[in-house]
Structures are given as C-alpha cells and as structure tokens.
Amino acid sequence: MLVILLTQRIEFYKFFSECLNISYVKTIISLREDYLHHLLEFERLSQKNSTGLYDLGVINKNILDKDIRYYLGKFSSQDAKAIIHSLTQRSHYELSDELINRLVQDLTVRARRSYIQLNYK
C-alpha cells in the first residue's frame, strides 16, 4: 500500500493549484477512487487558507464537481491517441501525431499492458 506523507501531498496541492490558475492550460489528474478523499483534504485546505496557496476559485472551489470530474477506465492505445488528439485539437497548442504516439507508447510500456489505465501511483 502506498502511503503519501502529508508534506508531499501539500507540495502537490500547491503545484496543482498553480497549474489550475495558468491561463490556457488544461490540467488533468488521474487517481484511483480510493484516493478521492485526498481531493477533499485539498478542498478543505483551500477554504482555510486565505493566502492563495491553494486557490480553487477557477473551479468554483469544488474539486469534486461532477462537471469537471470524469471516469477514466481501461482503454486501448488507439482510444488513448484519439482522446489526446481530440483534447489538444480544441486547445491553442495542438500536439503532433508523432508526440501523441510517443506519449501513448510510453504510458503503455510503463503499464506493461495492451490497454492503458490511468492510475494514481
């Protein structure tokens, strides 16, 4: 079982908050359902802290809102390529097919499976 120290989580929360507040940047995190409570911890920290270190205003201070939370299950390499292509096509920065292929290849090799399942590690 993976135990993540509070100090590590706080560093991640700060980093994630900064990423959320960068214009034109889409931030995607993936984690297992049994780690969702960490997002609630992040939300509580944002409500307690007035210094802006954990600013969730860009997502209406509701990190588990059903409109910004999506289920990601197992999908094939072809599905992953199509998803990444679709997401980047609508952005200001479109990724090349070569880069998308490499990204999917790296994720598949790391997972050592014929499908990709994004998990929190």
Asked if 45 contacts 54 with a C-beta cutoff of 8 angstroms, the reply is yes
pLDDT in tens, 53-110: 677 777 777 777 777 777 777 778 888 888 888 878 777 777 889 999 998 888 776 5
Extract the runs of DSSP E, i.e. beta strands, from the chain. 75-76, 115-116
User: Which comes out higher in pLDDT, residue 47 or 121?
Assistant: 47
pLDDT in tens, 12-38: 888 888 888 888 777 777 777 888 888
Say whether pLDDT at 121 is over 50: no
Predicted pLDDT at 108: 75
In a domain, 40, yes or no: yes
In a domain, 32, yes or no: yes
In a domain, 67, yes or no: no
Asked if 13 contacts 45 with a C-beta cutoff of 8 angstroms, the reply is yes
Q: What is the domain range of residue 40? A: 6-59
